[in-house]
Each structure stands twice: as structure tokens, then as C-alpha cells.
Amino acid sequence: MNIDYSRELPVIQGRLSLAEIENLIASPLDEKPGKKFFIALSISLSLLFIGVLSVGYLFYKGTGVWGLNQPVGWAFDITNFVFWVGIGHAGTLISAILFLLRQKWRTAIARFAEAMTIFAVMCAGIFPVIHTGRPWLAGYLLPYPNQHHLWVNFTSPLVWDVFAVSTYFTVSLVFWYIGLIPDFAVLRDRTVSKIKKIIYSIFSLGWRNSHRNWQHYEKSYMLLAGFATPLVLSVHTIVSFDFAVSIIPGWHTTIFPPYFVAGAIFSGFAMVVTVMIFVRKIFDLEKIITLNHLEKMNKVILATGMMVGYAYAMEFFIAWYSGNPFEQFVFINRALGPYAWAYWIMVSCNVISPQIFWFKKLRRSIPIMLIVVILVNVGMWFERFVITVTSLHRDFLPSSWGYFVPTIFDIGTLLGSFGLFFTLVILFTKTLPVVSISEVKAVAEGAQPSHHGGEH
């Protein structure tokens, strides 16, 4: 296939008119959900129910119901937390960084990815709260004036986490909502139902498509993107600090911050592609979320996959180079010890499987990309598992060496988090436009004035 490099690829296929774009995106909201919707929802709700049961029993009995032991005092809870926070990085990355990089193709997937960010951060937020086993005391994490005259320990990475994740959640939500305001106005002006109209009116805040507003709106979007970009980096950096400020071999290594961020983008993009493949099919959005979009996402997955591979290699090399016997032991133990199976799942899923994307044909084939992105999701979950558990299960004292085996409550909680995530995603598809209407209109062909007229 020969590409003409002198012309930009159209963002939308098939020269749709503005009204057609709007109809395509907004019409699913007008129809009553079909059978498939309820089947999907019942599956995800069942998963959620398993999670609720597991967590309910956890609250009743305490963290003893999990497979935690001495020395592995931190396993599925932190693994799931980091996994979900990582998933939550794609949305803001797509909406903020790609916005700053002027990547027009982001418009088609930004809204959905942002929603996934918010849901993933919600899933992530559950784990630090429940991992204490006494979640009603979670308020102690926040600095508030109290009768003990004690403030939280601001030098603790766990408190940084509280600040980072809550800030990230708030900013993502605000960013998402700001993007939704013009769309609420569109829906308000479209709908015939009275109740819907009231709801859309309230959320649109009285938006009038005024250019005097658009001007500030664009500025604010840019400022928010400018803040969200370092924020995305900071969140997973701080998550990596949870491990890396300690002195445990396998956790304390300086490459952790960029390594975690690359991993987060990697897993987040994989999750977005996974969901996108289904969404574009089910909602007939193939002309708006095109194969080109997916291909670009796959390229990012390939790039970040190699970054993650670079970090694995650097860790290994420097562990040997450091001459520190504990470091050396931890890494040899990772690859050859009792958790070698997890390590090799991680390497083959994260480093080897995305290499398929070097080939254009495979990069553009839906079944193959679905397999790869699911493997990447699995691999990235195992990455966090490997980091947490293999570093802990071999203590400095050989007498306290142990092995972690998850119980059904560990697994139930993990399934429950997937249930929560997909329930929210499924409900989202029927309540809000899954693609930003105004943004896609703005990048349609002929939507902008031609600037070959000495404009500038």
C-alpha cells in the first residue's frame, strides 16, 4: 500500500456531514437499550456482585481472609491498585498530551478514554481503602484538625498517593465534564423528552455555543491539558515512589518513576483498544473510530512496550553491575525462583507480544490486535504482581521466606473490580455520547475555514 505523505489522513472516514456525525454519535442515547446491552450488563453486574461479597466478607473478618502472610504483607491489593491506576492513565494522556501535540485523531477516542480513566481510578481507589480491613477509618489518611493534634505524615509516599490519586480523580473528572458541556447543550437542543431536557439543561449550565465563550473554553482546555500532562506523570511516579523510596531490593531502583509511567501508558492504551474494538462495532462508529486510530494506538503500545522492556533490562543489568549481592539475588530469583512463571508471563506478554505490531498488516488486523492487547493487560497485571510479591517473598532473613497463594477472596475482589469497571463503562455508553460531538465536528473535512488567503 502506498501512502501519499503530502496529504494528511482524514480523521473521519467517508466525508460525513456535521449533522450526520451528530446523529451517529447521539442516536444511541435516544433508543431504548437492547437485549445485548442487558446481557452485557448482567455479566458485569454478576462480577461486581462477586466483588461485593468478597469485600463484605473482608470487612466482616479482616484482611486475614486474603492470602497475605509474613513476609508477603502486600499482594493483590497493591497489585490491583497499581494495575487500575495504570489503566487510568490512558484517558488523560490521550486527552491532554495528544491535545498538546495537536494530534487530531485523539478527538474520536478522547471522551471514551477519559471516561475509562475515571472509572479505572474509581476501581483503583477501592484498594487502598479496603486493604486496611477497616475502611471506616480511612479518614485518617486526610489531614484534618483532630483531637490528637496530629497531622498526616507528609513525608510518607502513601500520603502522597492520597493526594495524587484524589487530585488526579478530581482533575480528570473536571476535564471530562468541561469536554461534555457543549455536548450536553447539543443533546439539550436535540431531545424531545421533557425530563431529559431538564437534566441536559442543568448539566449544560446554559451553554450557547457562543464564540466569546468558545475562546475562553479553548484556553481553559489548553491550560487544563497543560496541567493534566505533568499530573498524569506525577500520579504513577508517586505510585512508583510507594515502592522505590524503600530499601527493599527489587523495589528501590531509580528508574521506577519513568518505568511506571511508561507501563501505565502501555496498559492504559491496551485497555482502551480492548474496549474500543467492541464499542466501534456495537455502536456503528467505524467511520469515526477508524482503523487508523487503532493503528496509531497500537504504535504507541509498541513504543511503550519497548520502553517497559528497556526498564526490565536496565534493572537486570544494573542489579548485576551494582555488585550488591541482595540486588543480584532478587533479580536472579525473579527469573528462576518460585515465581519464575509469573515473571515469564510478564516478559512474554509485555515485551514479546507487542513486537507483532512492527508489521503493518498485523497492526491493522482486529483479531490479532485484540489478542495482543488482552495479553498486554494480563502481562501488565503480572508486572505489578511480580514487583510486589517476588521482592517480598524472599526476606533478608531466610528463616522468614514464604510463598504467597491467593485465596478465593483475593480473586473475587479482583473480579469484582473488573465488574465495577465494566458496569460503569456499559452504563456510560447509554447515558452520554461516547465520542465528543463538538470536537469531532471541528476536525471533520471542511469544518475549518480555508486559511490560504493570507489569513496569517
Partner 1 sequence: MQSNNSYTKKDLPLDLRNLGFTLLVGGIILGVIAFFLDETRAIFNYLLSFVFIVSIVVGCLFLVALEYVAGADWSTPIRRVSEFISSFIPLLVILVIPLLFSMHDLFHWTHEEAVEGDKILQGKSPYLNIEFFIIRTVLFFVIWNLFYFIIIRNSRKQDKTGDQSLTKKNIIYSAIFIPLFTITITFFSIDWMMSLEPHWFSTIFGVYFFAGSVVGALAAVTLATVLLKEKGYLHPKMVDDHYYSLGALLFAFINFWGYIAFSQYLLIWYANLPEETFWFLARWEGGWIFMSIFLIIIHFVVPYSLLLSQPAKMDPKRLKFVSIWILFAHLIDLYWLIMPQMHSEKSGYFYTILEFAFPIAAIGGLILVFFFNSKKQNLVPVGDPKLDRGLNFRL
Partner 2 sequence: MNRSDKKYGVAALFNSPDDIIKAAKKVTEEGYTKYDVHTPYPVHGMDKAMRLKPSKLGFITLTFGLAGAAVALLFMFWAMSIYYPMIIGGKPFFALPAFIPVTFEVTVLLATLSTVIGMITFFFKYPDQKHPLHDTDYMKKVSVDKFGICIEVDDPLFNEEKVKELFKGLPFESIQTIFHPAEEKHTVLEPKFLGFLAAVAIVVSFGTYVALNKILYTVPFDWMMEQPRVDAQSKSEFFTDGFGMRTSVEGTIARGFIPYEFKGMNEPTVPLSNPLKPTKEVFELGKKKYLSFCSPCHGNYGDGDSRLGENFPKPPSLHSAKAREWQDGNLYHIIVNGQNVMPSYETQLTRDERWAIVHHIRALQKAKNASEQEIQLVKKESLENAK
List of residues contacting partner 1 (CB under 8 A): 2-8, 100, 102, 222, 230, 233, 237, 241, 244-247, 252-258, 306, 310-311, 314-315, 318, 321-324, 358, 451-452, 456
For partner 2, the binding residues in 92-121 under the rule CB under 8 A are none
Which of partner 2, partner 1, none does 46 bind, CB closer than 5 to 8 A by kind? none
For partner 2, the binding residues in 157-196 under the rule CB under 8 A are 157, 159-160, 163-164, 167, 170-171, 174-175, 178, 182, 185-186, 189-190
- E-only strand ranges, 298-337: none
- Residue with Cβ nearer partner 2 (7 or 456): 456
- For the bound state, the minimum distance from the C-beta of residue 203 to partner 2, rounded and expressed in Å, comes to 10
DSSP string, 310-343: HHHHHHHHHHHHH--HHHHHHHHHHHHSTTHHHH
- Name residue, grid cell 526476606: 395
- For the bound state, the minimum distance from the C-beta of residue 424 to partner 2, rounded and expressed in Å, comes to 23
For partner 2, the binding residues in 347-366 under the rule CB under 8 A are none
Which of partner 1, partner 2, none does 3 bind, CB closer than 5 to 8 A by kind? partner 1
Q: For residues 430 and 30, what is the distance between their CA atoms, to the nearest angstrom?
A: 9
Contacts of 101 (CB under 8 A, 6+ apart): none
Contacts of 350 (CB under 8 A, 6+ apart): 263, 266, 305, 308, 309, 376, 379, 380, 383
Q: For residues 204 and 212, what is the distance between their CA atoms, to the nearest angstrom?
A: 16
- Residue with Cβ nearer partner 1 (255 or 340): 255
Q: Find, among 298, 277, 299, the residue nearest to 286 by Cα.
A: 277
For partner 2, the binding residues in 128-157 under the rule CB under 8 A are 134, 136, 143, 149-151, 153-157
Single out the residue of 325, 367, 398, 449 in contact with partner 2 (rule: CB under 8 A).
449
- For the bound state, the minimum distance from the C-beta of residue 194 to partner 2, rounded and expressed in Å, comes to 12
How far is the CA of 190 from the CAs of 20, 27, 30, 197, 316, in angstroms?
A: 13, 10, 10, 9, 58
How far is the CA of 310 from the CAs of 90, 317, 331, in angstroms?
A: 20, 10, 15
Which of partner 2, partner 1, none does 254 bind, CB closer than 5 to 8 A by kind? partner 1
- Residue with Cβ nearer partner 2 (57 or 428): 57
Contacts of 295 (CB under 8 A, 6+ apart): 360, 363, 364
* Binding footprint of partner 2, residue count (CB under 8 A): 73
Which of partner 2, partner 1, none does 253 bind, CB closer than 5 to 8 A by kind? partner 1
Which of partner 2, partner 1, none does 252 bind, CB closer than 5 to 8 A by kind? partner 1
| CB burial readout 237-270, b (16+ within 10 A) else e | bbbbbbbbeeeebbbebebbbbbbbbbbbbbbbb
- For the bound state, the minimum distance from the C-beta of residue 106 to partner 1, rounded and expressed in Å, comes to 14
For partner 2, the binding residues in 194-253 under the rule CB under 8 A are 201-202, 205-220, 223-224, 227-228, 230-231, 234, 237-238, 241
Which DSSP symbol is given to 324?
A: -
Examine residue 281 and tell whether it contacts partner 2 (CB under 8 A).
no
Q: For residues 363 and 82, what is the distance between their CA atoms, to the nearest angstrom?
A: 28
- For the bound state, the minimum distance from the C-beta of residue 208 to partner 2, rounded and expressed in Å, comes to 5
- For the bound state, the minimum distance from the C-beta of residue 79 to partner 2, rounded and expressed in Å, comes to 22
| CB burial readout 287-305, b (16+ within 10 A) else e | bbbbeebbebbbbbbbbbb
- For the bound state, the minimum distance from the C-beta of residue 262 to partner 1, rounded and expressed in Å, comes to 10
For the chain, first and last CA: distance in Å?
36
Which of partner 2, partner 1, none does 367 bind, CB closer than 5 to 8 A by kind? none
For partner 2, the binding residues in 54-93 under the rule CB under 8 A are 59-62
Which of partner 2, partner 1, none does 60 bind, CB closer than 5 to 8 A by kind? partner 2
Which of partner 2, partner 1, none does 258 bind, CB closer than 5 to 8 A by kind? partner 1
